[in-house]
């Protein structure tokens, strides 16, 4: 999960609709599919879900110049860790239940 800074929910939506064509290609080339982001309007929390083909291929995405540029662009409107304004702060969720 990540969190949009107060007052920036509309801007967050705008920046994703559509995302940059080169980012779309980069995500696909790194095996990402079925990608959705959900916004909780009252808190600004965002929940992202995606499926990946290969963990090793996916791990290379962070080194992509397109991905790094996107993170810097989005850090303007996301909550970030102190001293690290290059990327929004991520909070990892751990699965506690699953049903196929």
Q: What is the pLDDT along the chain (100 residues), one digit of tens a residue?
A: 899 999 999 999 999 999 999 999 999 999 999 999 999 999 999 999 999 999 999 999 999 999 999 999 999 999 988 656 788 888 888 999 999 9
First-last CA distance in the chain: 23
Cβ–Cβ under 8 Å, residues 4 and 78: yes
Beta-bridged to residue 78, according to DSSP, are 4
pLDDT, position 14: 97
For residue 46, is it within any domain? yes
For residue 67, is it within any domain? yes
Report the number of distinct structural domains present in the chain.
Answer: 1
Which structural domain range is residue 49 located in? Answer: 2-75
Contacts of residue 87, Cβ cutoff 8 Å, sequence gap at least 6:
71, 72, 74, 75, 80
User: Is 16 one of the annotated active-site residues of the chain?
Assistant: yes
For 4, 20, 55, 58, 95, the CA distances from 16, given in Å and listed in that order, are 13, 8, 24, 20, 26
For residue 81, is it within any domain? no
Catalytic residue among 16, 30, 94, 98: 16
pLDDT, position 92: 85
For residue 95, is it within any domain? no
CATH number of the domain that residue 65 is part of: 3.30.70.100
pLDDT, position 84: 60
């Amino acid at each position: 999960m990540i969190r949009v800074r107060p007052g920036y929910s509309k801007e967050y939506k705008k920046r994703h609709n559509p995302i940059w064509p080169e980012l779309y290609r980069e995500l696909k080339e790194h095996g990402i599919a079925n990608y959705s982001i959900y916004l909780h309007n009252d808190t600004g929390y965002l929940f992202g879900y995606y499926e990946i083909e290969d963990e090793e291929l996916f791990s290379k995405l962070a080194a992509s110049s397109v991905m790094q540029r996107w993170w810097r662009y989005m850090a303007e409107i996301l909550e970030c860790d102190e001293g690290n304004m290059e990327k929004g702060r991520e909070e990892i969720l751990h699965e506690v239940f699953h049903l196929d």
